[in-house]
Amino acid sequence: MCSTCGCSGDGEPVVTDLSDGGKHSHDHEHGPGHSHGHDHGPGHSHDHDHDHDHDHDHDHDHDHATTVTHQPSTRLVDLEVEVLAKNDLLAARNRGWFEGRGILALNLMSSPGAGKTSLLERTIRDLSSELSLSVIEGDQETVLDAERIRATGCRVVQINTGSGCHLDADMLARGLRTLDPPAQSVVFIENVGNLVCPALFDLGEASKVVIMSVTEGDDKPLKYPHMFRAADVLLLNKLDLLPYVNFDVERCIGYAKQINPDIEVLTMSVTRGDDLERWYDWLRRQVTAA
Amino acid sequence: MHELSITESLVSAILERVDGRVQTVTLVIGRLSGLVPESVRFCFDICTQGTRLEGAALDIIELPGRARCLACDQEFELPDAIPLCACGSANLEIISGQELRIKHVEVAV
């Protein structure tokens, strides 16, 4: 249900523009009486009851040839369709859209609470005088993260996925239409906090950035191999908490490299500001390449 | 539960491509695809309700993961998404196991 007007969004994602007084848009229209239309595909039928009594006897004659051949009751249709083809096509469209405008798009993924939003707040504070930045926030519910980003003065749009556990290429395209980022800028896409599902959905980003924190345990790369295999760079955050947790940094990096030999690993503490310059250098290199 | 949205996409992909009542759907799911076949079955029954796929049987062909080691050129079966060759190298090329494909459907005539 939409939290603003109370209408049923049919589980549809909701895009909220934080710089516009929290105005939100649905991809459906409200007609008079608040009705939602729906289309019937060719095979979508409704049942109708008809009384159909036969009040007379009648015979059907039919002849069987000596050899009876029955037509098969089904026919096989070869499809060989990739299930994610539709998302991949939309992601390719997003990628072309970014490239045409010289925009660097980064897909930030992590478990909930690893520090994605804090990293963005800090990055915006430190780099906004140097780079043009904007943010798309993905969460199941609330605009809390978008409000944090807006407080930094950065342009931000929130996508609420409702029951969805990840952003997909279509949701991102809709968010981008609202965000309307300028050419030659950087768009951070903060995915829904989840180390499983977002790994499978290409959004059209230039790079996938996975963030994990030392409070999560050093074995996470082995437990969620799809995510760490898909990522281009791993940001290992909250190193300031190392004295309080049982976490072996070298072992964690070893596991990540075992899953993905090409992954680049940057350690940092966002709250204390440790080693952020390496992340900023990485970002500047991507901007130059975009 | 990315299986739910993936199953929704596979149902709409079939509805877009075939007319008539679908009786059987055959999927190919690789063991390294990140998809749990049992979850797809669960979601399939929900996603097909009220469509021409409702009640259709779902056959899932599971393909094992296979990889080639880029260090020693050996080809071998990969039981999970952790890439490791017997020679110690983790630098592998995945040859199969990442499939996620609708192979064919049977339609009533």
CB contact under 8 A, A72 and B17: no
Full DSSP string of A129-181: TTS-EEEEEEESS-SHHHHHHHTTT-EEEEEE-TT-SS--HHHHHHHHHHH-P
Does the beta carbon of A199 lie under 8 angstroms from any beta carbon of chain B? yes
The 3-class secondary structure across chain B, one letter per residue, is: CHHHHHHHHHHHHHHHHCCCCEEEEEEEEECCCCCCHHHHHHHHHHHCCCCCCCCCEEEEEEECEEEEECCCCCEEEECCCCCCCCCCCCCEEEEECCCEEEEEEEEEC
Residue in chain B nearest A263 by alpha carbon: B91
Does the beta carbon of A40 lie under 8 angstroms from any beta carbon of chain B? no
Size of interface A-B (CB pairs under 8 A): 108
pLDDT for A238: 98
Q: Are A211 and A237 in contact (CB under 8 A)?
A: yes
pLDDT for A35: 41
pLDDT digits (tens, 9 = 90+) for B1-39: 688 889 998 999 999 999 999 999 999 999 988 888 999
- Which residues from chain A sit within 8 angstroms of residue B84, using beta carbons? 258
Does the beta carbon of B88 lie under 8 angstroms from any beta carbon of chain A? no
Coil, helix or strand at residue A207? strand
**pLDDT string in tens for chain A (290-residue length):** 333 233 333 457 899 888 766 666 655 444 444 444 444 444 444 444 444 444 455 555 555 555 555 667 899 999 999 988 889 999 999 999 999 999 999 999 999 999 999 999 999 999 999 999 999 999 999 999 999 999 999 999 999 998 788 999 999 999 999 999 999 999 999 999 999 889 989 999 999 999 999 999 999 999 898 899 999 999 999 999 999 999 999 999 999 998 899 999 999 999 999 999 999 999 999 999 88
Does the beta carbon of A162 lie under 8 angstroms from any beta carbon of chain B? no
How close B75 comes to chain A (CA, Å)?
18
- Which residues from chain B sit within 8 angstroms of residue A165, using beta carbons? 1-2
- Which residues from chain B sit within 8 angstroms of residue A79, using beta carbons? 13-14, 17-18, 102-105
Q: Are B75 and B63 in contact (CB under 8 A)?
A: no
pLDDT for A57: 54
Among the listed residues A194, A187, A150, A184, the one whose alpha carbon sits nearest the alpha carbon of residue A172: A187
Q: Are A77 and B25 in contact (CB under 8 A)?
A: no
Task: Report which DSSP code applies to A255.
Answer: H
- The dihedrals phi and psi of A81, each to the nearest 5 degrees, come to -105, 130
pLDDT for A172: 97
Of A77, A81, A165, the CB nearest to B13: A81
Does the beta carbon of A204 lie under 8 angstroms from any beta carbon of chain B? no
Does the beta carbon of A73 lie under 8 angstroms from any beta carbon of chain B? yes
Residue A244 CB-density burial (10 A; 0-12 exposed, 13-18 middle, 19+ buried):
exposed
CATH number corresponding to B2-64+97-107? 3.30.2320.50
Residue among A44, A73, A77 with most chain B CBs within 10 A, to mutate: A77
CB contact under 8 A, B82 and A78: no
Q: ipTM above 0.85? A: no
CB contact under 8 A, B19 and A87: no
Contacts of B105 (CB under 8 A, 6+ apart): A76, A77, A79, B14, B18, B22, B23, B24, B25, B26, B56
CB contact under 8 A, B20 and A201: no
For residue A126, the one-letter residue type is D
How close B108 comes to chain A (CA, Å)?
4
How close B84 comes to chain A (CA, Å)?
7
For residue A273, the one-letter residue type is G
CB contact under 8 A, B105 and A83: no
pLDDT digits (tens, 9 = 90+) for B57-84: 999 999 999 999 988 999 999 888 777 8
Adjacency order of strands within the sheet including B65-69:
B75-78, B65-69, B92-96
Residue among B3, B40, B102 with most chain A CBs within 10 A, to mutate: B102
Rounded Cα distance between A93 and A105, Å, is 13
